[in-house]
Amino acid sequence: MKETTVTRAGRPYPTQVQVPDYSKNVIDRKTDTLVYALGGLGEVGKNMYCYEHDDEIIIVDCGVLFPEEELLGIDYVINDYSYLVKNQSKIKALIITHGHEDHIGGIPFFLRSVHLKQIHAPRFAKALIEKKLEEHHLSRACKVTEINGDSRVRTKYFNVGFFDTVHSIPDSLGVIINTPNGRIIHTGDFKFDLTPIGTNSDYQKMAYIGQVGVTLLMSDSTNSGVPGFSVSEKKVANSIMDQMRKTPGRLLVSTFASNVNRLNQILMAAVACNRKIAVFGRSMENVLEIGRKLGVIKIEDSSFITGNELNTLPANRICIVCTGSQGEPMAALSRIANGTHKFIHIIPGDTVLFSSNPIPGNGVSVSAVVNQLTRVGANVITNSALTSFHTTGHAPVEEQKLMLNLIKPKFFMPNHGEYKMLIQHAKTAQETGVPAENCFICSNGDIVVLRDEEAFIANERIQTDSIYVDGNDASGLSTSVIKDRQILADSGLVAVIVTIDSRYNKILCRPSIVSRGFVYIKDSQTLLKEAELIVYDALKKKMLQRTTFGELKNCIRASLEPFLFQKTNRNPIVIPVILNQKAAIAEIQAKTGVRKVK
């Protein structure tokens, strides 16, 4: 296949996937059906896919992305909802495929921007969303309606149905979207497991849909680079049971809190081996509470113990289940490893089992926790091809081929994945018979147009970006704030304190410079004294004429920043602090009639 270059949002992408030039295609917003993502393309997270026809918009999922290390102080990354805010009168439904954070985590922030009447979510996701809305004091903001594989959501232009899929959380659904211009299948996150824990995939419905005809398939691309088939959850359950039986002392098991079926397997194995269970980690405790409430986890109260009761039982009668399988610094397992946990300290003979694999990017953090656990005397067991203590929740290549062969799409748009994953999934689609020109590699904001059961990429885009959230601030943080945090981490700050008398336009004493994270003060007195003189001289010249506080601050920065860079080759943040004499402030207050507020 001839290599072509595809440009999306001004970025050239060399690829083997042939994408025709659709630059001449113009959208007819009255009759065309538009498909676009505000998040989830070119990334694993922030999933939010929109389907628009005339005056109606259907949204599938509303997730968050957990930040990389360079996003200092950021708790979540969410989507830019500005397009949906402008068009909120068109929004007819928000549909959730399952209850993972990258699919539901953005809902509280979205509801602060957009008024919704109701959210449609499967049973377990519904319980998680209601808990999340309660924590954000948004319980009355929106009604959450339960859906399943037999449900229907109908609007003027859309007729939406569902089919059961298997994932690492109960009640996972694929979505069937019937539009005036063709049928769209949105798989959500899925895998094929012939011996699953819980509900199986609805193979019959998928095959029937494929026979009826599908215009566009949008399919999970997370494991596009993983060959073969995934390990069955039943095999993982057997491996955990074997390890539970042969462990002589306490067994600590760490897994993803959201993997409810895995949590249930661990708890059932502990009960079968006559071990009492202690659960630690807020997210794990929340999922356990919801799982027991919905009957997904059927373990009696008598099987659980509290942290205070751990020392009342023999070591071989205890199973501890906790968060922290990804090396998160504040999670329970990290605190156990560091000896800072309130109830648990590692003792020789403890076994720690990781029923998980490190997410890409978390390998270093996980290794650090494993090393620390080993250092304090634990026997650490991690997942491998020989042990099968974990299996993925996403379809590898052969299972992706099975989905493609069941659905038989005319056009294919891989989603939920980084750019490389999308490319690999498109190649897999071509191996199953989808023409290369019918495979769309899109970025967030690109618009795929359906017109009379044909599809093409439009010549316009929807503006979308990442919004950084610190705490619960739904407005996000600007790029400049993130940049300042990066500069503080790299170069530190320098504060310049200047005392003046604004009545006489006079500096009362030489400026004082304080540094934090820039240079070691005791070894840099000469540098700082020289910097003080440079600022002093610049201010004296500036104050020969009438000036303002803003101009004085700019003068300090303009004189100091080049000097510091010349001497140290670093650019710290310079913070000018100007103190006005008390008498001058009193005179200003008297003239303006503004009293000092205590």
Active site residue ranges = 220, 394
In three-state secondary structure terms, 395 is coil
Say which residues have a Cβ less than 8 Å from residue 138's Cβ, sequence separation at least 6.
108, 111, 112
Task: Give residue 43's region: left, alpha or beta (phi > 0; psi -120 to 50).
Answer: beta
Q: Are residues 474 and 112 in contact, defined by beta-carbon separation less than 8 angstroms?
A: yes
Burial per residue of 194-226, b for 16 or more beta-carbon CB atoms within 10 angstroms, e otherwise: eebbbeebbeebbeebbeeebbbbbbbbbbbeb
Three-state SS annotation for 482-544? HHHHHHHHHHCEEEEEEEEECCCCEECCCCEEEEECCCCHHHCHHHHHHHHHHHHHHHHHHCC
Query: Which of 435, 355, 339, 347 has its CA nearest to residue 389?
Result: 355
| Strand order from edge to edge, sheet including 214-220 | 153-154, 159-165, 172-179, 182-186, 214-220, 409-415
Q: At what angle do helices 397-407 and 203-212 cross, to 10 degrees?
A: 50
Q: Are residues 456 and 75 in contact, defined by beta-carbon separation less than 8 angstroms?
A: no
Give the number of other CB atoms < 10 A from CB of residue 423.
Answer: 23
Cα(382)–Cα(327) distance, rounded to whole angstroms?
A: 13
What's the N-to-C CA distance of the chain in angstroms? 75
What are 257's two structure tokens? 């809190």
Q: Are residues 125 and 171 in contact, defined by beta-carbon separation less than 8 angstroms?
A: yes
Query: Which of 463, 460, 435 has its CA nearest to residue 24?
Result: 460
What are 425's two structure tokens? 């999934």
Cα(237)–Cα(266) distance, rounded to whole angstroms?
A: 8
CA angle, 206 then 410 then 429, to 5° = 80
Question: What's the one-letter identity of residue 151?
Answer: S
Q: At what angle do helices 123-135 and 282-294 cross, to 10 degrees?
A: 130
